[in-house]
Amino acid sequence: MTGEAMRQVAGVYHRRVGDISVTALHDGHQDVAMSTVLGIPAEEAAAMLRAAFRPVPRRTAVNGFLIRNGDRIALVDTGCGPAKPTVGFLATNLAAAGVAPAQVDTVLMTHLHPDHVGGLSDRQGRALFPRAVLHLHADEHAYWHDDVAMMRVADPARRQMFFGDARAHLAPYRDRTQLFTGGEVFPGVTAVPLPGHTPGHSGFMLASGGESLLIWGDIVHVQELQVPRPEVTMMVDVDPAQAQQTRRRLFDRLAADRQAFAGMHLHFPAMAHLAREGDGYRLVPDAWSLDLHGDAPR
């Protein structure tokens, strides 16, 4: 059909946090086997997804976030890179947001799983952000460079996918990597340790002008399952018990504080609030808004 739309518009969505600008950048989605979802019977998980009009097996969004404060530009995570046809769009959406890779001066990593580091370097091992200083938690850097931890993974393909690829993508930034354990990592942005999913898994709290937004990384992968059932974990959780504890503790705080948050695997544009519902929680996605500060009461 002549003139028929064949693709969506750019996956770019802006929000203001005081004087800070944050932009959600969509990288695409991954369809992943239900066997990767643990702590709930597979039939029950599938039923919950169908009840929410979601596909089975699970479809998980992948997002990154651009932060601009004055003349400084940071990118939080880099997406999957061109790993498969449904992902790898972060670079295109970064361009659509008006930012060239050479303008990014800081890359903040929530953690080093493949869907977060894949866009750091190309297949030739060249840094895709030629000026950026890379920031990640010290425990994260140590874990993925630990040969003993690597050899606990029995499957050689998984060892390469997780440990090998993490090391390869970090290598071009070797001389411009800074490790943190907390504190301010970019103007107006504070690291928040959220361990469990990985040892150094971190969120980033943006705060300016009385407003705030927490980028929570991978606190949830499947919001329809893990918000009402925080005990549900993922096969890729390094420490599932700690991941569950961190999720419950953070849910309590976010709901009590009415704290706005954003996530790498929330449905785009990936910004939301959390409300208590009975003994559990309900995720309330932010409405798409022309108001750059969002529609939530201030």
Cis peptide before 156 (omega within 30 of 0): no
Consecutive H or E run containing 75: strand 72-76
State the pLDDT confidence band at 3, using cuts at 50, 70 and 90.
low
> Could you report the per-residue pLDDT of 114-167, keeping only the tens digit for each?
999 999 999 999 999 999 999 999 999 999 999 999 999 999 999 999 999 999
In this prediction, residues 239-250 reach a mean pLDDT of 98
State the pLDDT confidence band at 34, using cuts at 50, 70 and 90.
very high
State the pLDDT confidence band at 83, using cuts at 50, 70 and 90.
confident
Q: Is the pTM of this model over 0.85?
A: yes
| Pair 270, 236: CB distance under 8 Å | no
Helix residue ranges per DSSP H, 129-234 = 138-144, 147-151, 156-159, 165-170, 223-226
- Give the separation between CA 211 and CA 49, rounded to whole angstroms: 33
Tokens, residue 134:
């890379």
Q: Could you count the other beta carbons within 10 Å of the beta carbon of residue 22? A: 24
> Could you report the per-residue pLDDT of 84-114, keeping only the tens digit for each?
999 999 999 999 999 999 999 999 999 999 9
State the pLDDT confidence band at 208, using cuts at 50, 70 and 90.
very high
From residue 197, how far is each of 168, 219, 295 by CA, in Å?
Answer: 21, 8, 31
Q: Which residue has the tokens 């369809």?
A: 31
State the pLDDT confidence band at 2, using cuts at 50, 70 and 90.
low
> Could you report the per-residue pLDDT of 12-23, keeping only the tens digit for each?
999 999 999 999
**Among 65, 61, 160, CA closest to 110:** 65
In this prediction, residues 246-255 reach a mean pLDDT of 98
- Give the separation between CA 97 and CA 13, rounded to whole angstroms: 9
Look up residue 115 and give its amino acid.
Answer: D
Going from N- to C-terminal start, the domains of the chain cover 12-285
In this prediction, residues 254-269 reach a mean pLDDT of 98
Residues ≥6 apart with Cβ < 8 Å to 277: 228
| Pair 227, 54: CB distance under 8 Å | no
From residue 63, how far is each of 12, 24, 44, 119, 268 by CA, in Å?
Answer: 10, 7, 27, 12, 7
Average pLDDT, the chain: 96
Give, as one character, the DSSP assignment of residue 141.
Answer: H
12-285: CATH topology: Metallo-beta-lactamase; Chain A (3.60.15)
